[in-house]
A and B are shown apart, each in its own frame.
Chain A
Amino acid sequence: MSPAATVSSPRTLAGALDALVGATEATLILAGGTDLMVEFQTGRTRPGHVVDVWRVDELRGIRAEPAGLRIGALTTCTELRASALAQEHADILVIAADEVGAEQIQARATIGGNLGTASPAADLTPVLFALEAEVRLVSKAGARSLPVTEFLTGYRKTARRPEELIESILVPTRAPGERRGFRKVGTRRAQSISKVVVAVAVTALDGVIRTLRASAGSVAERTILLPSLERELAGKAPDAAALDRAARRAATADCAPIDDVRSTARYRREVLRRILRTLLAELLLDET
Chain B
Amino acid sequence: MNGAPDTSFTFTVNGESRTARCAPLARLLDVLREDLRLTGSKEGCGEGECGACTVLVDGVAVNSCLVPVCQVDGAAVATVEGPGLEAVREAFLAEGGAQCGICTPGMIVMTKAWMDECERAGRAPTAEGARKALAGNLCRCTGYGKIIASAVAAARGESR
Contacts and interface: CB of A to CB of B under 8 A. Distances in A.
Interface stretch (A5-13, A169-177, A258-266): A5-13
Nearest to A55: B71
Interface in A128-153: none
Contacts of A253: none
B100 interface: no
A190 B71 contact: no
B95 to A, nearest CB: 22
A50 B47 CA distance: 20
B50 to A, nearest CB: 9
A102 interface: yes
A107 B135 contact: no
Interface string B49-70: 1010010000011110111101
Given A3-B1, A4-B4, A30-B68, A37 B136 contact: no
Contact of B24 (A9, A101, A107, A189): A9
Interface in A19-49: 30, 32-34, 37-38, 40-41, 47
Given A33-B68, A37-B65, A5 B136 contact: no
A104 interface: yes
B1 A191 contact: no
B25 A104 contact: no
A34 B67 CA distance: 8
A5 B4 contact: yes
Contacts of A3: 1, 3, 23, 25
B76 interface: no
Contact of A41 (B22, B27, B73): B27
A248 interface: no
B3 A4 contact: yes
Contact of B62 (A1, A108, A189): A108
Given A2-B25, A33-B67, A38-B66, A104 B48 contact: yes
Interface residues of B, number: 36
A230 B5 CA distance: 55
A104 B65 CA distance: 11
A105 interface: yes
A34 B65 CA distance: 9
Contacts of A108: 62-63, 66-67
B66 A190 contact: no
A123 interface: no
Contacts of B27: 2, 37, 41
B135 A2 contact: no
A32 B113 CA distance: 19
Interface of B: 1-4, 22-27, 30, 46-49, 51, 54, 60-63, 65-68, 70-71, 73, 110, 113, 132-133, 135-138
Interface of A: 1-7, 9, 30, 32-34, 37-38, 40-41, 47, 50, 52, 54-55, 78, 101-105, 107-108, 189-191
Given A2-B3, A5-B4, A104-B51, 14 more contacts: A2-B25, A3-B1, A4-B2, A4-B3, A7-B68, A9-B70, A33-B68, A34-B66, A102-B136, A103-B110, A103-B136, A104-B61, A190-B136, A191-B135
